[in-house]
Structure 1
Amino acid sequence: MLVKDIMTKNVITVKKDASIREIAQTIVDHDISGLPVVDEEGKVCGIVSEGDLVRKEFAPELPDELCILGAVIYYSGLREYQDAFRKIAAISAEQLMTKKVVAVHEDDDVSKVAKIMYDKHVKRVPVLDGEKHLLGIVSRRDIVKMMLS
C-alpha cells in the first residue's frame, strides 16, 4: 500500500510565528499530538509536538563533562542540552519546533514510513512534494487503521 492511500490530507498546521499558547490550543482543540509548522509560502519548515511543549516545563540535564587542568570538556550531551535550553526559552513555533523534518513522498510504500517512525522514534511524518509543500501527514494511528482494512 502507498502513503497516498492512508495519509490524512486535511492537515492542521501552524505558522512559524504562532505563540506557544496558540500551538497548545490547536493541539487540544483538534485532539492531535503534533503538527507541521509552515512558512509564508506554505512550505514545511518544522514539526512541533506535545513532547516539545512538555519539554518547556523542566530544566535540561547538564551535559557530561570532564575537568582537566581547570578546563571543562563536554564529552556527551552538549547538543541535547543546547536544544532543551532553546525549547525552554521558546515563545514561538519557529523557536520550539524540531527543524530536521523527516518526510516522505505520497508514492512511497507504507512500510518505508513505518520503518522511519520506528527507527527515528517519531509519531507523525509529513508527506511533501518536491518543493516541500505539504500534501498530507501519516501518523502511527493511520498505519494501525490500515491494518484493520
Structure 2
Amino acid sequence: MQSMKVEDFMHRRPVVFTEDLPIEAAVERLLQSRQRGGPVVDTEQKVIGFLSEQDCLAAMLRDTYHKELSANVSDCMYRGEVLSVFADESITDVAQRMDAKKPKVYPVLDGDTKQLVGVITRTDVLAAIDQYYQDSYRRR
C-alpha cells in the first residue's frame, strides 16, 4: 500500500481562490464543485490560506445581518499554516494524519516548487484504501 501515492488519487483541477475574489463568487464555486473548501493561492500558485464552507457561511450570515455584500475571500479565509501534503507522499502516510480534528480537504503541493498541484479529500483517501483492499481480495 506504500506504493499508492497522493498524485494517483488527487483532484488535479480543484476549486481554488484568490484573496480578492468576492465571497459570493467563492460560494458559487464551492456549490458547483461540491468541494467543502479550497486553498487560497497567490500569483505564484503558493498556498497562502484556506477558505472553508464554514468560513463562507459565517461571512454570508454576518453580511446578511448587516445588509452588506462586500466581503472578499481575504476577509474570511484562514491565514495560519495550512495543512498540506505532497504529491509523492504515500496514501497510507496521509491517512494516518487524517483524524477527526484535521481538515477534510488537503492542498497537494509539488515537492520541489511547493506550488499547488491539486487537492485530496478524506473521501479520496478512503477510496484509495478501499481500492487496495478490493484488489487484495480479488487476488486471493
Q: Which deviations, in whole Å up to 9, do the C-alpha atoms of 1:78-134 show, x marking residues without a partner?
A: xxxxxxxxxxxx822122111221111111111222233216421011111233311
CA distance in 2, matches of 1:117, 1:22: 29
Residue 95 of structure 1 corresponds to: 75
Residue 75 of structure 1 corresponds to: none
Structure 1 stretches of 4+ with a deviation exceeding 4 A read: none
Question: Residue 132 in 1 paired to residue 105 in 2?
Answer: no
Question: Residue 117 in 1 paired to residue 98 in 2?
Answer: yes
Residue 106 of structure 1 corresponds to: 87
RMSD: 1.9
* Kept in 1: contact 2:91–2:128 (CA 8 A): no
Q: Please tell me the residue identity of whatever aligns with 2:10.
A: M
Structure 2 segments unaligned to the other structure (5+ residues): 63-69, 132-140
Structure number with larger C-alpha Rg: 1
Q: 1:123 to 1:16 in 2, by over 3 A?
A: same
**TM-score scaled by length of structure 1:** 0.70
Residue 137 of structure 2 corresponds to: none
Q: Please tell me the residue identity of whatever aligns with 1:113.
A: V
Matched residue pairs, number? 118
Residue 71 of structure 1 corresponds to: none
* Kept in 1: contact 2:23–2:72 (CA 8 A): yes
From 125, 130, 136, give the equivalent of 1:148: 130
Q: 1:46 to 1:106 in 2, by over 3 A?
A: same
CA distance in 2, matches of 1:41, 1:14: 13
Residue 61 of structure 1 corresponds to: none
* Larger strand percent: 1
SS at match of 2:85: coil
CA distance in 2, matches of 1:98, 1:113: 21
Identity percentage over the alignment?
31
